[in-house]
């Protein structure tokens, strides 16, 4: 078992979880507007939804990886290309982080949990991202690919849970810091680009 690969995976996941995106911005705004309990309920729902995508990728991709080396190479190539595409989209996007206090309808904690699950499960981009992200981080020659995908999925969920929960709990401080430091958005933007490109290269050069 290669623990260095797992540490690299956790580090990359943590950086991506910290980068501004629709999920963590939504968590941040729920916490600022309605309190940290509402933010944490949203986080729990979003992370729970990842189980579905992990299972889809684990069982589907594992079967494909057993096919042959050519298929595996094609998956790696497409995964690396998709990550480069994400990096390009981040490059083209505005670095400004919008924390508009647009009125968010107040919902119960249970409603927010369900909404978080639905937001995640019905977003096909999550499965596509997992499909691009996970194959390059297979870490064992003895464990089945299915088990390895589930381990990576659980590590992704655990890391994202910690980061998103901290965002919910420290919502006010994070919001004030972003507003007072205009360079935060640019820094996070380029950090995200570097991570996407780095992962793309890592996946392309990885061996089965």
Quick: pLDDT tens for 27-67: 888 888 888 999 999 999 999 999 999 998 888 776 676 66
122 vs 44, higher pLDDT = 44
**CA quadruple 27, 29, 33, 35: dihedral positive or negative?**
positive
Residue 18 confidence class, pLDDT cut points 50, 70, 90: confident
**Which residue carries 């249970």 as its tokens?**
110
- CA–CA separation, 139 vs 2, rounded Å? 5
Q: Tokens for 34?
A: 């309605």
Residue 108 confidence class, pLDDT cut points 50, 70, 90: confident
Identify whether 194 is part of a domain: no
Identify whether 32 is part of a domain: yes
Identify whether 3 is part of a domain: no
Q: What is the overall mean pLDDT for the chain? A: 84
- Candidate ranges 108-117, 173-182, 194-203; pick with highest mean pLDDT: 108-117
Q: Tokens for 143?
A: 């464990």
Identify whether 68 is part of a domain: yes
Identify whether 93 is part of a domain: no
Cβ atoms of residues 132 and 203 within 8 Å: yes
Q: How many domains does the chain have?
A: 1
Q: Tokens for 99?
A: 């924390």
Phi, psi of 63, deg, nearest 5: -65, -40
Identify whether 14 is part of a domain: no
Compute CA 145 distance to the chain's CA centroid, rounded to the nearest angstrom: 20
Q: Quick one: average pLDDT of 100-112? A: 74
Tell me the Ramachandran region of residue 203: left when phi exceeds 0, alpha when psi lies from -120 to 50, beta otherwise: alpha
Q: Quick one: average pLDDT of 83-87? A: 86
- CA–CA separation, 34 vs 141, rounded Å? 47
Domain enclosing residue 74, as ranges: 22-79+109-180
Res 97 pLDDT > 70: no
Which residues contact residue 93 at a Cβ distance below 8 angstroms, ignoring those fewer than 6 apart?
189
61 class by beta-carbon count within 10 Å (0-12 exposed, 13-18 middle, 19+ buried): buried
69 vs 119, higher pLDDT = 119
Identify whether 44 is part of a domain: yes
To 5 degrees, how large is the angle CA 201–CA 141–CA 159?
A: 60
Q: Tokens for 166?
A: 């901290």
Give per-residue pLDDT as tens, 156-185: 999 999 999 999 999 878 777 766 776 777
Identify whether 167 is part of a domain: yes
- Candidate ranges 25-39, 44-58, 88-102, 131-145; pick with highest mean pLDDT: 44-58
Q: Tokens for 139?
A: 């870490």
Cβ atoms of residues 56 and 134 within 8 Å: no
Compute CA 68 distance to the chain's CA centroid, rounded to the nearest angstrom: 28
Which residues contact residue 56 at a Cβ distance below 8 angstroms, ignoring those fewer than 6 apart?
127
């Amino acid at each position: 078992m290669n623990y260095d690969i797992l540490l690299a995976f956790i580090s990359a996941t943590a950086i991506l979880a910290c980068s501004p995106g629709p999920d963590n911005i939504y968590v941040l705004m729920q916490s600022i507007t309605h309190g940290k309990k509402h933010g944490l309920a949203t986080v729990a729902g979003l992370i729970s939804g990842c189980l579905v995508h992990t299972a889809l990728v684990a069982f589907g991709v594992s079967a494909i990886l057993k096919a042959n080396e050519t298929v595996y190479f094609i998956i790696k190539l497409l995964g690396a290309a998709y990550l480069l595409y994400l990096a390009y989209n981040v490059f083209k996007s505005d670095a400004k982080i919008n924390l508009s206090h647009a009125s968010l309808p107040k919902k119960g904690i249970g409603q927010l949990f369900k909404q978080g699950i639905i937001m995640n499960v019905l977003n096909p981009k999550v499965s596509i991202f997992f499909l691009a992200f996970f194959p390059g981080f297979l870490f064992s020659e003895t464990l089945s690919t299915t088990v390895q995908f589930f381990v990576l999925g659980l590590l992704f969920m655990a890391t994202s849970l910690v980061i998103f929960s901290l965002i919910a709990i420290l919502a006010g401080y994070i919001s004030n810091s972003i507003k007072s430091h205009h360079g935060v958005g640019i820094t996070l933007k380029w950090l995200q680009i570097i991570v996407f490109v780095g992962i793309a290269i890592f996946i392309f050069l990885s061996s089965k």
